[in-house]
Homo-oligomer: A and B are copies of this chain.
Amino acid sequence: MAGELTLKPIGIIHSPFTVEEGTPIQPSLAGGARGWVEVFPEFEAGLDDLEGFERVWLVYIFDRAGEERLKVIPYLDSREHGVFATRAPCRPNRIGFSCVRLLGRNGPRLEIGDIDVLDNTPLVDIKPYIPGFDSFPEVKTGWLDRPLPKKMGADSRFAGKNESSDK
């Protein structure tokens, strides 16, 4: 079994958010924040026909998350849960994905709406959002079965020590 994989960035995500505190915790709670994605030139050909999709998944590395934890108190609760039952960044493998709005493309540059990612985050993949594959509006959500807020920003509970010095 090929058990490991080293991810190499294909680009960089740019956003107005430079520290975890105040960064939207999800695209749907981002209040329409704008950002952009810079795909490195050697990967630009892979973007062809992406512009027809209204939303895309950005897959990225939580490069400024604090140390790995298996139990966390997530932003949307006051109780502790297993990290795999949350979307907290301090996971064994620090991969995040966000379903953002694709507002436009200019060559290797993508204009993004509903961005919830820290500025300068390493991007490792882009996938089209396809409702037939990805949209399940009615499913049960365990500890989170209650209305979500309209907008919500993070605090610094999952920030790594190097977050501010990294800027």
Give me the interface of A with B, judged by CB distance under 8 Å.
1-10, 12, 26-28, 43, 45-56, 59, 61, 63-64, 70-71, 81-87, 91-95, 97, 99, 120, 122, 124-145, 148, 166
Q: How many copies of this chain does the complex contain?
A: 2
Report Cα–Cα, A71/B144, bound state, in Å.
40
Q: Is the CB of B141 within 8 A of A131?
A: yes
Query: Which residues of chain B come closer than 8 Å to A64, judged between CB atoms?
Result: 2
Residues of B contacting A54 with CB < 8 Å? 136, 139-141
Of B63, B70, B87, B93, the residue contacting A124 (CB under 8 A) is B93
Q: Is the interface of A mostly helix, strand, loop or mixed?
A: mixed
**Chain B residue with minimal CB distance to A56?**
B84
Min distance, Cβ A138 to any Cβ of chain B, angstroms: 7
Chain B contacts for A94, CB-based, 8 A: 5
With both chains docked as a complex, state the minimum distance between the C-beta of A65 and any C-beta of chain B, in angstroms.
Answer: 10
Contact assessment for A10 and B95 in the assembled complex, using a CB-CB cutoff below 8 Å? no
Question: Which B residues are CB-close (under 8 A) to A166?
Answer: 1
15 contacts between A and B (CB under 8 A): A5-B6, A6-B7, A46-B70, A46-B91, A49-B143, A52-B141, A53-B85, A53-B139, A53-B140, A55-B139, A92-B125, A93-B124, A131-B136, A134-B134, A135-B136
| 4 further A-B pairs in the complex, CB-CB below 8 A; given A91-B125, A132-B148 | A28-B133, A43-B70, A51-B142, A56-B84
Query: B5 to A61, Cβ gap below 8 A?
Result: yes
Q: Is the CB of B87 within 8 A of A46?
A: no
**With A52-B143, A138-B131 given, is the CB distance from A125 to B95 under 8 Å?**
yes
